[in-house]
Chains A and B, each alone.
Chain A
């Protein structure tokens, strides 16, 4: 009996802690007190686990959302907005994406005569290919599909240029030699950190996972010197093709870097951006049959060797209609329009 009462008291305490932690007002100090409490006694931990498990399990209940009052007004019934159906696109044949034969080239350009001028190396990947390369200074670069990076190292400098595509850099720390990476009109400067650079059709995006990264406009338009942007882990900045930088935003590393494991993930991204990336993994051409849909904003995720999943998803949602033509040509159209031609 006593133990039951004791247990009830502990469940009560544990519930109070859970309510405190999820209040939105929990402080570091409060969290520290919680830790002290839960670590003090196995019985505390057991009680908290019981409460937490019940709370966590709620989303497994059928129709749990029906227990919430209906959201106010603005809801438009989905069915009302459904318009005519269209012929679904033909089933995709697996293996649409031809994975290019491994193509990693290291080109040694002629050595300069100036003392200390080291060799410039060019690293390249083919369509559908992702490669990890080690640079002479010990840095490791994962190069995305259809991407190119040149690197030049001297005793004093580490210079690189992301010529096209995308790369994830894990830069070996060297306080004496800064690592500079030029990307179009943008330059990224670091001592030793890890970050991702994507050179897209409309912008250059830098996303930092470790350390501190400096991003600068190489040729500011005005004579007023534009200050560099300093990025910390979890932060991202995009610069347009003239080098003008936007606001620093936070990003989800799991999404932004999943391309290294053969997956691309997007939250509220322009279809144009998604297709720009998809093109790096598809041998044929991917074309917009309708320019307007390039601006659609999409949240999606797909394996880079299974572009069919991307298109199956978009098609099933009614976002776009996918028309497959001979020789790997893919035409993306507005699902509202009828096909103009049969083949």
Chain B
């Protein structure tokens, strides 16, 4: 039945935005979110994953479900960006080694954070627009091979062996590319004063924490 699945996702995959004819029908917020962002999100994911796996529509659906569940989605400043971010993260969950590395780093950083800062989840903190612009410039300035290695690792979660096989290189050289790329990015954003005011979802984080209490108290 996987054929059927693909078929159904394609049928109206550009969203029901022009599903007029209904005349005067009021769209609920959930339907509006789908209408405005489903098609665009799927297109962005398709650029990364092609037909998958993971399938772009699956990731998009995970992202929608999360946003609908955890955020006041009418108050989000840039729902498209948030949806994309969640979808990419969901995609990375499928890349075992990559998600293991991310977890390891998160654990270590929060360990170091200790009691100094409470309740800040780094992945929830959005960068200031200024820093993002600097980052954007830095990416564009990277040599092509570095850029591709960087994004394959960050967006697709590929290992260096996988990247090397895909673009015809060696894991060691991919590793060097990645280190060089992240070094350049860190310098680019490091020059700008820290300013984390511009948080896309700051007002939602607390509500989310309350709704999903950590039950696993070991």
Contact = CB atoms under 8 A, between A and B. Distances in A.
Given A11-B183, A78-B10, A297-B1, A23 B50 contact: no
Contacts of A39: 112
A249 to B, nearest CB: 14
Interface in B152-189: 152-155, 158-162, 171, 175-176, 178-180, 182-183, 185-189
B189 A65 contact: no
Contacts of B153: 22
Contact of A52 (B68, B81, B105, B179): B105
Contacts of A261: 211-212, 215
A325 interface: no
Most buried by B among A11, A45, A260, A318: A318
B75 interface: no
A110 interface: no
B30 A309 contact: yes
Interface of B: 1-2, 4-5, 7-16, 18-19, 21-22, 25-28, 30-31, 34-35, 38-39, 42-51, 57-58, 61-62, 64-66, 68-69, 81, 84-85, 88-89, 93, 97-98, 101, 104-105, 108-109, 112, 122-123, 126-127, 131-132, 135-136, 139-140, 147-148, 150-155, 158-162, 171, 175-176, 178-180, 182-183, 185-190, 211-212, 215-216
Given A20-B175, A252-B93, A319-B8, 15 more contacts: A22-B178, A24-B162, A60-B85, A60-B127, A65-B45, A67-B140, A82-B10, A299-B62, A309-B68, A313-B64, A316-B12, A316-B16, A318-B13, A335-B8, A335-B11
7 contacts: A12-B183, A14-B186, A24-B98, A62-B81, A69-B148, A297-B1, A301-B69
Interface of A: 8, 11-12, 14-16, 18-26, 31, 34-35, 38-39, 45, 47-72, 74-76, 78-79, 81-83, 85-88, 90-92, 209, 252-253, 260-261, 263, 265, 267-268, 292-293, 295-303, 308-309, 312-313, 316-320, 335-336
